Amino acid sequence: MRKRQKGSRQGLRRERPAGSRLPRSAKGGDRRSSGRSEALAQEIIGFLHREKEPRSMADIMRGIALSRGERKMLAGILADLCRQELLACPRGKKKGAAYFLAAKAGLAEGIVEVHPRGFGFAILADRGDVSRQKGKGPLRQDPFIAPHNLGSAHQGDKALFRLMPQRRGRTEAVVIKVIERAASLLPGIYEAGRETGLVLPEDERFLFNVLVHRKNSCGARNGDAVVVAITDFKDGRRNPEGRIVEVLGDPRDNSVQAAIVVRKHRLPHTFSADALEEAARFPDTLPAQEDRLDLRAIPHVTIDGESARDFDDAVAVEKTKKGWRLHVSIADVSYYVRPGSALDADAYARGTSVYFPNLVVPMLPERLSNNLCSLIPNEPRPAFTAIMDFDRTGRRLAAKFTKSVIVSQQRLTYTIVKKILVDKDRGLAGKYRTILEQLAAMGALAAVLKSRRMERGSIGFSIPEAAVLMDVDGGVSDVIRAERNMAHELIEEFMLAANEAVAFRLAEKSIPTLFRIHEEPDNEKVLEFTAFARSLGLSLPGKDPGPKWFGKVLALVAGTPREYLVSNILLRTMQRARYTPENMGHFGLAASHYTHFTSPIRRYPDLLVHRSLTALLAGKKGQNISPAPDLVQAGDFLSGRERAAVEAEREMIGRLQVRFMADKTGQTFEGIVSGVSAFGLFVELLDHFVSGAVEIAALQSDYFRFDEKNYRLIGSRSGKTFQLGDLITVRVANVDLRQHRINFVPA
């Protein structure tokens, strides 16, 4: 078995109970009685928090399973907790007197977020007391949890915390009680032993290994990637016990890496038997439906990537006397996935499809996602269509929404459209001559829609994405920047237009739905950015930091060496978009109304919006259809599922990037500084879309200090700086496949 180094993540397991300050009566005694008293104090607080009502000493003894012989110790602990004003206690010795938590106890529930170095943070369920209220003072951090205050809590556990304000406005937290364990199933690497083996968790935030007896190894071989179920979380033990429930295989296989990421991020990846049965029952052909508008004569086309397998949207454009008419027809998933069905339950649990370069975890079974709900060419499909009229400046004149039947007449790709409209490819023009006029109209409409959107202040961030190229054997042949051309922008403009029109109509008619909101950036972060930008000599626009202001700042550096630097830092000031039933607008798009309507095959919020549109249409007939029983809860949950998908996709790309670089140790590359921290630099290579780290210790020519406000390292003797956006030549020092890290040194 692997040796544990002092200070490693495996050696950081806490053995003392949380709350070492409690109780006073135990201090001066032996360690065993002190530890027992401390643990009981935390149990008492947890018990009274759970009960919500005052409880007598007898109730407390029963609640935490104490014997009669421990009554005297309990009385002393209760007295200590009363003196510290953690409990409100009865006066005198009245029989049956009750104890309850004092208002000053400072208790809160939340999630434990552990750092690999052993400390953690309390992510509170109600963060109003630790996070900045809009326009009301500085941003405060999540409460810090010292290693000795984590108790038996692990990464992701739901816990009860005691919050203790410390100096400099920082709040610390002590784990009082673990309410719910998060780590019941963990992926990891199995290290076989003679009688007992270990599973090393893939997530380094779990500061333990799992002991597995041979009889519980499920036939796993040494070095296999496995999933282990933790069966025993005994307090005070360094490593819990468990049993292997799934053997994933050789971690050198990229498909196994994908399976690890799926399980690490707890992505639902199997459909229930009932859901699969429901999907199988639908007929292959669409029955005639009198309530749907027949739009099969409209020349719809789909435009997607070459590797796309599901087609959510089809578009058609025709010129009119005043401008253009745009049809955006979206697969009507709500026709197949009904509220209360097994398909609906599985789709909601997923929240979104997850896309890896070598695997798709779909929201819907393949028969729906790739067939019945997909707008396949020359096949009649149920759709929800937004029909919008625009004038020659891109102003929306009218919008109509209807359930429809459409037929996609062409399956186009971004590459084909670009070659026709931009490159003027004569061969492709001849092949697609029947739709050339429509493609030209699409290009013209998209251009004016984009121009109008940018004029109102929509922020034009252009964030590069990685495209991982896989070979026939499942290996990584290259990692490049994904191409983004005018055809991508064309479809994007049409989808944005449809999403805005739907959001506006639902809000106008007061139909409950989920909006896609993007709130204003944090004032403190904007001020920090402003100070930084001025230090670069930028002459910033007026004082109002609205969307137009951000757009003007980006325009100042467009096409200059500073564009990368300013764009990345400006992006960091932004808040995360989320789903909510309250329309609060979309700051980044400078849109007063916005929602997600255009991708119901892969996003559950879009399905809810379709149900809201159904309610709007049915309302004209006196019907009442609710899209979801609790839209607030749905918005929070689905925003969380989106974040989990993004994190999983990002991690999978990172793992493949590491494997691509595994045979390049010693090679030299040009890169750009993409991140700066007190620990060193992050460098993004120019030839390949791959990032790695340069530890500050590798910058041996000087002693460098971190200038946090200006995103740079400064040499104390030489004054040499490394700043976000700088070009740098690096050499690959080593590639750590186990920790998924690429380490560079200056060349």
Cα 31 from chain centroid (whole Å): 44
pLDDT > 90? residue 267? yes
Chain segment 290-326, per-residue pLDDT in tens: 889 999 999 999 999 998 888 999 999 999 999 999 9
pLDDT on residue 106: 81
pLDDT on residue 235: 62
* Residue type, position 169, single letter: G
pLDDT on residue 645: 97
Chain segment 180-212, per-residue pLDDT in tens: 888 789 999 999 998 999 999 999 889 899 999
| E runs forming strands in 104-156 | 107-114, 120-124, 144-145
| E runs forming strands in 332-394 | 354-356, 359-361, 380-391
Residue found by looking up tokens 């064309």 in the block = 490
pLDDT on residue 34: 57
Cα 524 from chain centroid (whole Å): 24
Contact 730, 743 (CB under 8 A): no
pLDDT on residue 70: 85
pLDDT > 80? residue 633? yes
In this structure, whether the domain defined by 662-746 belongs to CATH 2.40.50.140 is answered with yes
Q: Is the peptide bond before 23 cis (omega within 30 degrees of 0)?
A: yes
* Residue type, position 385, single letter: T
Chain segment 542-595, per-residue pLDDT in tens: 767 788 888 888 888 888 878 877 888 888 889 999 999 999 999 999 999 999
The CATH number of the domain covering residues in 185-251: 2.40.50.700
Of 164-178, 373-387, 679-693, 707-721, least confident by mean pLDDT is 164-178
Ranges 59-68, 333-342, 549-558, most confident? 333-342
| E runs forming strands in 414-475 | 466-470
pLDDT > 90? residue 289? no
- Picking from 27, 26, 48, 24, the residue whose alpha carbon sits closest to that of residue 37 is 26
φ and ψ at residue 108, rounded to 5 degrees: -155, 150
Chain segment 456-508, per-residue pLDDT in tens: 999 887 778 899 999 999 999 999 999 889 999 999 999 999 999 999 999 99
pLDDT > 90? residue 93? no
pLDDT on residue 84: 80
pLDDT > 70? residue 129? no
pLDDT > 90? residue 237? no
Residue 241: pLDDT band (50, 70, 90) is very high
DSSP H/E element including 185: strand 185-191
Contact 326, 294 (CB under 8 A): no
Give the strand pairing for 476-481 and 727-736. Answer: unpaired
pLDDT > 90? residue 524? no
Give percent above pLDDT 70 in the chain: 90
Chain segment 666-691, per-residue pLDDT in tens: 999 999 998 899 999 999 999 999 99
Q: What is the pTM of this model?
A: 0.85
pLDDT on residue 141: 73
The conformation of residue 371, written as its DSSP 8-state character, comes to I
Residue 141 or residue 528, greater confidence: 528
Of 92-101, 447-456, 671-680, least confident by mean pLDDT is 92-101
pLDDT on residue 509: 94
For the chain, residues classed under CATH 2.40.50.700 are 185-251
The per-residue pLDDT of the chain, averaged, comes to 88
pLDDT > 80? residue 13? no
Cα 638 from chain centroid (whole Å): 10
pLDDT on residue 67: 86
Angstrom distances, CA of residue 287 to CA of 283, 290, 382:
8, 10, 10
Give percent above pLDDT 90 in the chain: 62
Of 353-357, 435-439, 493-497, 736-740, least confident by mean pLDDT is 736-740
pLDDT on residue 572: 85
Residue 40: pLDDT band (50, 70, 90) is confident
Among the residues of 573-630, which ranges form H helices? 604-619
Residue 678 or residue 129, greater confidence: 678
Residue 24: pLDDT band (50, 70, 90) is very low
Beta bridge partners of 303: 412
Q: What's the half-sphere exposure (Cβ side, CA atoms, 13 Å) at 99?
A: 27
In this structure, whether the domain defined by 1-105 belongs to CATH 1.10.10.10 is answered with yes
pLDDT on residue 356: 96
Cβ neighbours for 297, distance < 8 A, ≥ 6 positions apart: none
pLDDT on residue 136: 34
**pLDDT (average), residues 154-160:** 90
Of 133-147, 252-266, 634-648, least confident by mean pLDDT is 133-147
Q: What is the CA radius of gyration of the chain?
A: 29
Distance CA 309, CA 307 (A): 6
